[in-house]
Structure 1
Amino acid sequence: MRKETVEQKVYQLIKNAILRRQIAPGNQLFESAIAAKVNASRTPIRSAISKLEAEGLVDVIPNKGAFIVQPTMEEMIQAFEMRKVLEEMAIREGYSKLVKTHIALLKSHTEEMSKAFEAGDMLVYHEQNKTFHLIMAKASGNRYLIDFMERILNQITIYMILYDVFRENDENDLLQHHQMIQLIEKNDKESLLEVVKEHLNHSLTKLENDKHKYQSLTKLF
């Protein structure tokens, strides 16, 4: 088996386990255990872990090892506070540049979120949600804003996947997305800004309240 194949296999194995909540935040990744499971040397495993670290799914601590990301509440609050600043900037810079195509995309992603919600597909739901919130930033044409917005949304999406009690209270998010689209069509930017703030506060409150149980990493490796 080639190195690239082993690396990709390990990468997908760990990533899928994290995103599907089969392992808990904070659990350590033991290279020796993973190597034994996939019958490979540690070199491709380290490469896979480095890739997961770059995506914000794993923390590598010098002299200690690699651990599934376990954000503190303070870190999540800081991420959402930064997102509020970026979302407001995206609306102020991108609002006047929205065209029918952008609005159609907002509606399409909201519809896909609704389908994923009904199907219980949390991963698709949060991916569509992330794409929805990137549209305004992309409309602005500000490449720095787009880059920072994408980074913070990627990180917050990971937090939501790790801790969100899916289907118990996400229906409110869908309603707020529909409300945002209506306000855009009504050309009411200031009300849109208020709804987005409310939307983000609601998402953060969910993270503060949601708690989950995970199976041990030793069940996989």
Structure 2
Amino acid sequence: MAIGVWLVGARGNVATLSMVGARAVAREVAGTTGMVTARDPVASLDMPPVEEFAFAGRNLRVLSREGHNILGNTDGLVLEEEENGAGKIESEGRLLERILGYETHNGVRIDYTPSLGDWKTAWDHIHFEGFLGTETKKQFTWESSDSALAAPLLPDLVRLVAYADEHCEGGIQPPLASFFKSTMGVDEHDLSGQLELFYDYAERHAEGR
């Protein structure tokens, strides 16, 4: 029997990661580290398995979004110039509209801060309308090495593209949409949907289909 899971703010970071993570655990492509219900003595209880989760969500109306990035590496220096950063800003705005399904204010700012070196700080301010039209604001900040965020993608992409080439699947790779901000060959812009494409591709090949 399916277990309904209703999420308020279904497009948020935690909600998205929870849904993707649950699907990954159900497909046995991810472990259960961090899940206390997967450890004894709790695991011995007769609880519904993760694969029975059926997700739904209440999508709140986003009124505006402001994003501010500061970093001190070459990317920051180049993107701070209005002409160079225009493409990145445009792609982020276009992506948000495609995910939401409607236009909204989407401000993006990139500043070069030399002392940060390769470290990046990103701040987002989201103004949205919730239940009974109540206006609410959400802010979050994260910090990390800019290069370390992107570097792991390269070996994965090389392996996946080489695998596709060996199986006569050259050209645009729709199953790899989750690796890119601006996708090609696929209209799915929701991360959970993109990962479904990726996992379906992997399962199909694993089963020899």
TM-score tier, shorter chain, comes to under 0.3
TM-score in terms of structure 1 length: 0.23
Structure that is richer in helix per residue: 1
Structure that is richer in strand per residue: 2
